[in-house]
Structure 1
Amino acid sequence: MTAAHPEPLPPQEETDRLLVGDHTDPHAVLGAHPAGPDTVVRTLQPGATAVHVLTDGTRHPLTHLTHGLFAGLVPGPVTHYRFEVERDRRPHVVDDPYAEPPTISPTDLDLIARGEHPRLWDVLGAHPHDDGVTFTVWAPHARGVRVAGDFDHWAGRATPMRHLGSGVWELHVPGARPGCRYKFRILSADGTWHEHADPLAFATEIPPATASVVTTSHHRWHDDDWTTRRAATDWHTAPVSVYEVHLGSWRVGLSYRELAAELGDYVQEMGFTHVELLPTTEHPFGGSWGYQTTSYFAPTARFGTPDDFRHLVDHLHSLGIGVILDWVPAHFPRDAWALARFDGTPLYEHADPRRGEHPDWGTYVFDLGRPQVRNFLVSSALYWLEEFHLDGLRVDAVASMLYLDYSRRAGEWLPNTFGGHENLDAVAFLRELNTAAHTRCPGVLMFAEESTTWPGVTSADGLGFGFKWNMGWMHDTLHYLRNDPVHRVHHHREIVHSTDYAWGEKYLLPLSHDEVVHGKGSLWQRMPGDDRRKAAGVRTLLAYQWAHPGKQLLFMGGEFGQPWEWRADESLAWWLLGEHGGMNHHRGIQRMVADLNEIYRREPALHTLDHTPDGFTWVRSDDAPGNVIAFQRHGTDGSVLVCVVNFAGVPHEAYRLGLPRAGEWQEVLNTDLSDYGGSGVINGTVHAVAEGMDGLPASVSLRLPAAGVVWLTPA
């Protein structure tokens, strides 16, 4: 090599930083660089015994300089080249990761820096191309980042990433393909290396393995008609009857595609309008039921691929069934390979444990004051809504987000800038989330699991949710029904209290998985008495729920009165529905729930005025001695349905109460039908006479079954 040519060895400081792993721009050292009329080419190939540059049909040998760094001078300019790398006397031809220009634009980087990127998943994560995969990650406090995976036998030393600015690191890896597993190796400020899964991984290994997986979608959607109808529907006036499902235990062992067929047929047969899935975002510990989320952009690999999950959603849409995902932005687990201390600092979590650690769940709390973290979470929500065509999100643990002192004692929390306990960052985030979801995805349903009296959860100038879980109704109703009927006279206020606030928010009435675990007992077990009375109690509870103002949600198993608590590692007790063994009570409850859904969808009075007092009128709310309540539901079309509930343990014969008009009334539901497992105390068609009662112009005499519900409509 002549003196006119520069040495292929870069300055020692550059070499040291490159080999140590804290060089923020390895592309400035590696790859092809002009050297006068010629070109210096450098490559990291640890373990190689020889490396040649292949260009214009010519092989140019490179010299091994140190620790796998090869370099050499190639005559003339070089535009297209490859490497021939020899290991164990076997040559392989590979492309150079450091020959590619950046794949992220300055505009994208600026949006990421400001926490305002509208589609973060388009620029971060692993994106396949014809010749390889581009890996991109946000790690602003890292000294260096490498990507390692199947494509380099998990060595990682030859794939340092470059820092493009805004905390973003990027590298295009030729030869990497969909299906490759990978992780990021991050050099923190203290000089230690940590290996992490990709925060924006679109697929993962099957737990307990924790690597991210490169993927691309080939699914072709067939749900245009569904999404068009969804966008045109006012869900506040439409029937919404939700079947909550844990995919792993609905029937153990089913894949997403098998669930599409079996769950789809079942939900359609039962008449539910939507399914709500306990979190299918990837989570390492199955016992968390998905609430310890580690991958906010990847469906769990337990049941198949992301495209398999798309097929499940698409198929349910073809049956007219919406799909809601339980989504967990309130906290995340401490697993060192996931989001925790991602770049060696509290990046996604708040640095102060008084705001960054959850005392009840042993988890980290997102730092919602950091724009990039809010952007990450909003992008996660939009990713599920846009890329998987989901019809809504149930946002978990909203109350824990809204209050800085949630589950904390004095001295364990930090007040906001005004000295209060409201989490102003969380308020801003939730408003941003709901605005983005409703704007970008017309017709989606956004549910808040919020258990306090925070004002305006479902108002446009409040948090902006579409619906709030009515936890007060749930607690009061279940507490009331636990009592033996002879004692319910002393608890009557509990069963009528819900209408004092029923129109303060737009509510969904939940009988969720949380109510059938941790020793609370199943719905069946909560009912006093023998099996016959327990079955009647479950039927009464569900018929009352379906008639009460608000939308409905029922956890799987509740629709046939599973007698024991839900067990996440076992299938539901489908065998109870068999034709033999005296289990008619469970078949009866199931048959009744299907009828509830059919009548609910058919009768406008049960859903069109759910969230206004115009849709509800008490007929009788003060019969505590008789354990009876009665009320009217009204529809926007002028229709009316009267619901009469007898919570007593004995029937009431010739029970007279008021009705809004004289004439024939049809009993459209009676929970005591023999087909439901009841004793057959029914009415059929009844005649109301023009004799006023309960402030109404007419009245009727009814047979009210013990622990039974009657629905009447004008004949």
Structure 2
Amino acid sequence: MDRERLLSGVHHDPHSLLGAHPVPGGTLVRALRPHARRVTVLTGDGTGGETGGKAGDRAGGGRTALLPEGDGLFAGVLPRLAEDDHHRLLVTYGPAGDPEPGAERETEFETHDPYRFLPTLGDLDLHLIREGRHEELWRALGAHPMTHQGVPGTRFTLWAPNARGVRLTGDFCHWDTTAHPLRSLGASGVWELFVPGVGAGTLYKFQVTGPDGTATLRADPMARRTEVPPATASVVTSSRYRWQDADWLARRGERPVHEAPFSVYEVHLPSWRPGLSYRQLAEQLPAYVRDLGFTHVEFMPIAEHPFGGSWGYQVTGFYAPTARMGTPDDFRYLVDALHREGIGVILDWVPAHFPRDAWALAAFDGRPLYEPGDPSRADHPDWGTLEFDYGRAEVRNFLVANAVYWCEEFHIDGLRVDAVASMLYLDYSREHGGWTPNEHGGRENLDAVAFLQEMNATVYRRCPGVVTIAEESTAWDGVTRATHHVGAGGFGGLGFGLKWNMGWMHDSLGYMTHEPVHRKYHHHEMTFSMVYAYSENYLLPISHDEVVHGKRSLVGKMPGDWWQRRADHRAYLGFMWAHPGKQLLFMGQEFAQGAEWSQAHGPDWWLLDPSYAAEPDHRGVRLLVRELNTVYRATPALWERDCVPEGFAWVDGGAADDNVFAFLRFAGDGEPLLAVSNFSPVVRTGYRLGVPDTASGLWTEVLNTDAARYGGSAVGNPDQLKAEPEPSHGRGASLVLTLPPLATVWLRPE
């Protein structure tokens, strides 16, 4: 029975049959080497004479030929081996008899016996895995080159609690699926095998036999490197990278993110400069972002994904940077290069769902494992994917450890968590009757809430200076509230640092798409965000989602002729950078690209070519973005009190007939900045606006989106304006301004 179970790949303890075992009169050695012609055991120095299956005297060591038992099994009894006699196997392949000229000849290789080694995982690791509390899970599971019992090789470990058996295969064994069964390490659900001689660069997969006896080949869920898609094998890897960003890591947590300058350039790495590797990107991207003045970049998901058209949002390799652009150490090099230029790195992270590929996570060990067992809970109706089972401790651990992994192993400075709303609600995109309420009769996914709280608490505890950002499109209470603070809904906060302000994005873009003559009827769409501006710590996103699938580019959304569209684009960016909240802008929008984003060819960089004399305007918009960031970073009023009411005050939020919005921003010391946006294509002269009487001296126009160097009409104000003692808008002093057409101006007192 044991033999049949071993050969069919469903034996839980192959080490009990294979390797060396004491028997009366000696040591029985058994090896499983399918397709081998001969297997010889080498003991000591392996120089002694060869014997048959009953080994003779082996003074100084010996060579013992094992006898074939059929089906690739070889066995023989040797004199009792000393504990320190680490026997090896000499395996011979090739044709029997004398080969014909030009035919395949015998080949031999020598290896330590994989089945003589003790388990490589200790009780603490197994306990933490079983409890779902292993915060460094990637160090315990997966493939790890190591020296074990004095022998170099690789430890392979896999969590598959429903499997009847697990076998390892790869290029090291010519993809034979029978020779390397793993042993079960008890109730932990972990299977393990140490394979001597296998090192970094080896391709591998696991053959997992489910409860019904069906075997499937699976990529390693914990693989830290993969083949280049569409190939799907996992790759043994070990980092040799030496970081040079210690100063950056020491400084990044000096100021809380919500009280610091934070402007983000969102990038789809494979298409920013199509064809470039991580290391080639490191030669161009940091300098470009530094020149534009952004504080951070955000990478759309770079965890391995089989279909490039998903833009990384359907992940199969949660622990592996995509191999499309290089190795994990190459990706570390890119992050390091950005840090050395003073630029933080945010990573788009996707714990909401995963694809159904048969070689990946779906029904991994023959039953639902990473997904819930109830199909109505598991199936994601929007994307044809599967949701994670957040109620299972090991699955929650897989994801929490993954968040920590990116921050610790790749020095990532923040995680933007995708599709949070789809996780929080049991009825998300589901028809009536297509979902089951929680234990309290509500629609909240309590397991997902607990997972997000645990993830945030763990990341903030382990990784000082890191920020987590929620893409959450509903009015869930307390997304950026601390996890131990209970809100009106009875839940603790989710614990994020920032939340995307989807309401501001939809409303403000809706306003901008109207012709100026109609904007007065939609004035509230630009002011409503201040009703809830302090309910969360917000980031204002103009992301990739807004410039694809027929939504048009940012400048393409604007009405009017080309001049008016560019002017609106510039004015809108000026309004956005002055509005409470941090900023995010997707690549290509920094120079008013007219076409929608295409992952096939990326941004239209040719628009910035100085030799393209017909369109110098794009360079002007990029210059504006650079100066927006420059003034923003140098002006605490624009970021220091983003998340408290004391940092903002309307001067005139009701000038609907004029299409004008005027407000003040305040730094912690009270220093103001006045931002005025005129979304009409007419110049407004003699426009009086109230300012604090404590700043009744000279004011300077520090930014004007209508400046000629940006491609504007050069309407503006004098270098210095004297605040007049005439009260206006409830304030003791006022300025009389000229408002350029379709423009935003910023002013501050000297």
TM range (shorter): over 0.9
Residue of structure 2 equivalent to 1:482: 513
Residue deviations 1:28-56 (CA, integer Å, cap 9, x gap): 00000011341000000101111111002
Residue deviations 1:262-282 (CA, integer Å, cap 9, x gap): 000000000000000000000
Residue of structure 1 equivalent to 2:312: 290
Is 1:71 matched with 2:75?
yes
Residue deviations 1:65-88 (CA, integer Å, cap 9, x gap): 020000000012243110111111
Residue of structure 2 equivalent to 1:419: 441
Residue aligned with 1:236, SS: helix
Residue of structure 1 equivalent to 2:176: 155
- Which of the numbers 103, 108, 111 marks the counterpart of 2:125? 108
- Which of the numbers 678, 687, 706 marks the counterpart of 1:646? 678
Note if contact 1:645-1:710 (Cα within 8 Å) is conserved in structure 2. Answer: yes
- 1:517 shift after superposition: 0.7
Cα separation, 1, equivalents of 2:602 and 2:469 = 27
Cα separation, 2, equivalents of 1:585 and 1:701 = 30
Residue deviations 1:540-572 (CA, integer Å, cap 9, x gap): 111101000000000001111110110011131
Note if contact 2:378-2:388 (Cα within 8 Å) is conserved in structure 1. Answer: yes
> Given residue 32 of structure 1, which amino acid in structure 2 is its aligned partner?
A
Residue of structure 2 equivalent to 1:693: 728
Note if contact 1:604-1:637 (Cα within 8 Å) is conserved in structure 2. Answer: no
Cα separation, 2, equivalents of 1:353 and 1:540 = 49
- Which of the numbers 642, 646, 653 marks the counterpart of 1:614? 646
> Given residue 118 of structure 1, which amino acid in structure 2 is its aligned partner?
E
Is 1:627 matched with 2:631?
no
> Given residue 21 of structure 2, which amino acid in structure 1 is its aligned partner?
H
TM norm structure 2? 0.93
Number of matched residues?
Answer: 703
Is 1:25 matched with 2:13?
yes
Is 1:446 matched with 2:468?
yes
Residue of structure 2 equivalent to 1:143: 164
- Which of the numbers 262, 265, 275 marks the counterpart of 2:287? 265
Note if contact 2:608-2:616 (Cα within 8 Å) is conserved in structure 1. Answer: yes
Residue of structure 1 equivalent to 2:58: none
- Which of the numbers 667, 675, 688 marks the counterpart of 2:701? 667
Residue of structure 2 equivalent to 1:195: 217
- 1:147 shift after superposition: 0.7
Residue of structure 2 equivalent to 1:59: 63
**Greater Cα shift, 551-560 or 33-42:** 33-42
Is 1:565 matched with 2:596?
yes
- Which of the numbers 175, 200, 210 marks the counterpart of 1:178? 200
Cα separation, 2, equivalents of 1:593 and 1:51 = 70
- 1:176 shift after superposition: 1.2
- 1:113 shift after superposition: 0.9
**Greater Cα shift, 222-231 or 602-611:** 222-231
Residue of structure 2 equivalent to 1:16: 4
- 1:234 shift after superposition: 1.6
Residue deviations 1:453-510 (CA, integer Å, cap 9, x gap): 0000000020000000000000000000000000001001111100000000000000
Cα separation, 2, equivalents of 1:494 and 1:631 = 16
- 1:651 shift after superposition: 1.5
Is 1:349 matched with 2:371?
yes
**Greater Cα shift, 263-272 or 56-65:** 56-65
Residue of structure 2 equivalent to 1:504: 535
- Which of the numbers 546, 553, 567 marks the counterpart of 2:577? 546
Residue of structure 1 equivalent to 2:562: 531
Cα separation, 2, equivalents of 1:51 and 1:630 = 85
Residue of structure 2 equivalent to 1:9: none
Cα separation, 1, equivalents of 2:374 and 2:80 = 57
Note if contact 2:689-2:729 (Cα within 8 Å) is conserved in structure 1. Answer: yes
Residue of structure 1 equivalent to 2:93: 87
Residue aligned with 1:570, SS: coil
Cα separation, 2, equivalents of 1:15 and 1:227 = 55
Cα separation, 1, equivalents of 2:25 and 2:466 = 61
- 1:687 shift after superposition: 1.5
Note if contact 1:53-1:83 (Cα within 8 Å) is conserved in structure 2. Answer: yes
> Given residue 252 of structure 1, which amino acid in structure 2 is its aligned partner?
P
Percent identity of paired positions between Structure 1 and Structure 2: 58
Is 1:521 matched with 2:552?
yes
Cα separation, 1, equivalents of 2:618 and 2:738 = 24
- Which of the numbers 466, 469, 492 marks the counterpart of 2:500? 469
Residue deviations 1:662-691 (CA, integer Å, cap 9, x gap): 221000000000000000001132111000
Residue of structure 1 equivalent to 2:745: 710
Give 1:361-440 correspondences, 5 Å limit: 361-440=383-462
- Which of the numbers 188, 203, 206 marks the counterpart of 2:228? 206
**Greater Cα shift, 631-640 or 197-206:** 631-640
Cα separation, 1, equivalents of 2:549 and 2:376 = 28
Cα separation, 1, equivalents of 2:711 and 2:365 = 60
Note if contact 1:37-1:77 (Cα within 8 Å) is conserved in structure 2. Answer: no
Cα separation, 1, equivalents of 2:173 and 2:405 = 30
Give 1:318-357 correspondences, 5 Å limit: 318-357=340-379
Note if contact 1:466-1:506 (Cα within 8 Å) is conserved in structure 2. Answer: yes
Residue of structure 1 equivalent to 2:97: none
Cα separation, 2, equivalents of 1:600 and 1:566 = 27
- Which of the numbers 678, 688, 692 marks the counterpart of 2:712? 678
Cα separation, 2, equivalents of 1:577 and 1:307 = 32
Cα separation, 2, equivalents of 1:309 and 1:103 = 29
> Given residue 706 of structure 1, which amino acid in structure 2 is its aligned partner?
P
- Which of the numbers 34, 39, 43 marks the counterpart of 2:31? 43
Residue aligned with 1:249, SS: helix
Residue aligned with 2:77, SS: strand
Residue of structure 2 equivalent to 1:491: 522
- 1:441 shift after superposition: 0.1
- 1:637 shift after superposition: 2.3
Cα separation, 1, equivalents of 2:107 and 2:645 = 79
- 1:157 shift after superposition: 0.7
> Given residue 137 of structure 1, which amino acid in structure 2 is its aligned partner?
L
Residue of structure 2 equivalent to 1:133: 154
- 1:699 shift after superposition: 1.1
> Given residue 547 of structure 1, which amino acid in structure 2 is its aligned partner?
A
Residue deviations 1:311-347 (CA, integer Å, cap 9, x gap): 0001100010000100000000001101011000010
Note if contact 1:532-1:585 (Cα within 8 Å) is conserved in structure 2. Answer: no
Q: CA RMSD in A?
A: 0.8
Is 1:118 matched with 2:135?
yes
Cα separation, 2, equivalents of 1:90 and 1:527 = 71
**Greater Cα shift, 680-689 or 596-605:** 680-689
Note if contact 1:616-1:633 (Cα within 8 Å) is conserved in structure 2. Answer: yes
Residue deviations 1:140-175 (CA, integer Å, cap 9, x gap): 000000010011010021100000121000001112
Residue of structure 2 equivalent to 1:605: 637
Cα separation, 1, equivalents of 2:458 and 2:107 = 54
Residue of structure 2 equivalent to 1:5: none
- 1:92 shift after superposition: 1.7
Residue aligned with 1:537, SS: helix
Cα separation, 2, equivalents of 1:226 and 1:345 = 45
Is 1:250 matched with 2:250?
no
Note if contact 2:86-2:112 (Cα within 8 Å) is conserved in structure 1. Answer: no
Residue of structure 2 equivalent to 1:3: none
